Amino acid sequence: MIEFARNVRLWFAPQELRQEGGTPDYRFSLANERTFLAWLRTALALIGGGFAVDQFLPDLRWGWRVGLALALLAAGVLCSLRAVNHWIRCERAMRRGEDLPASRFPALLGLAVAVVAVAMVLVVLVGWEG
């Protein structure tokens, strides 16, 4: 938990990373940043999908519509927070010469999106009005 708190502090003071280890090859830092931006694009897509479900499927039962929208919105929020935390963790590991951190988050996010997709398939097959 202390490590997580330190990472959160580094979100807002990334210049403090320079105090840890040596400077990695800038290509690796830029690749880490591109990965971060890809995660943010994914988060924005999930958030957009959540709003789309809520706004553009008015005939869908309220419970289904709100449940699917909230699931997508929550996945987008988690994805954006995880993106910045993973960026910091990777940057620290590169500066220290350590292995990059392993993460279960991609698998969990993939499963969450799959569950929402299956729910949407069921809604389409059963019909919107139920």
Q: Domain boundaries in the chain?
A: 26-126
Question: What is the residue-averaged pLDDT of the chain?
Answer: 90
Q: Is residue 72 a contact partner of residue 49, using CB atoms and an 8 Å limit?
A: yes
What does the pLDDT read at residue 129?
57
- Tell me: the pLDDT tens digits for 84-129? 999 999 999 999 999 999 999 999 999 999 998 998 888 878 866 5
* Residue 13: pLDDT band with limits 50, 70, 90: confident
Q: Which residue has the higher pLDDT, 126 or 33?
A: 33
Read off the pTM.
Answer: 0.84
pLDDT of 80 reads 96
- How far apart (Å, rounded) are the C-alpha atoms in residues 66 and 121? 16
Q: What is the 3-state secondary structure (H, E, C) of the chain?
A: CHHHHHHHHHHCCHHHHHHCCCCCCHHHHHHHHHHHHHHHHHHHHHHHHHHHHHHHCCCCCHHHHHHHHHHHHHHHHHHHHHHHHHHHHHHHHHHHCCCCCCCCHHHHHHHHHHHHHHHHHHHHHHCCCC
The pLDDT of 64-75, averaged and rounded, is: 92
Is the confidence at residue 130, as pLDDT, over 70?
no
pLDDT over 70 percentage in the chain: 97
